[in-house]
């Protein structure tokens, strides 16, 4: 595993928690494979948080690009234009 900064570690943990961010995206950006991400999460998180994450991620289609129903592109919320700065703008 490369020497990662605290900012990189925080971002990897954030990406790992996100449902739609695949392990392939983490590998592309940080060079860490799925097993390395799991090891990092185990090392950096409290045991209970790690177990909750593993239970949630295990077998989840959106975390594994080969299991996804769509090949390319990104998920886009139908209301994305209306959302700005984490609040829904007035209609």
* Across 71-86, average pLDDT: 52
* Across 74-83, average pLDDT: 52
**pLDDT for 25-73, tens place per residue?**
889 899 999 899 999 999 999 999 999 999 888 876 666 555 555 555 5
Q: Where are the domains of the chain?
A: 6-88
Q: Are 89 and 82 in contact (CB under 8 A)?
A: yes
Global confidence as pTM: 0.65
Contacts of 41 (CB under 8 A, 6+ apart): 13, 16, 50, 53, 54
Is the pLDDT at 1 greater than 80? The verdict is: no
């Amino acid at each position: 595993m490369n020497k990662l900064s605290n900012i990189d570690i925080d971002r990897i943990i954030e990406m790992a928690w996100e449902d739609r961010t695949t392990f392939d995206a983490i590998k592309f950006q940080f060079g860490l494979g799925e097993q390395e991400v799991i090891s990092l999460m185990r090392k950096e998180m409290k045991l209970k948080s790690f177990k909750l994450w593993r239970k949630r991620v295990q077998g989840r289609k959106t975390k594994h690009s080969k299991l996804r129903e769509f090949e390319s592109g990104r998920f886009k919320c139908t209301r994305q234009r209306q959302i700005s700065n984490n609040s829904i703008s007035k209609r």
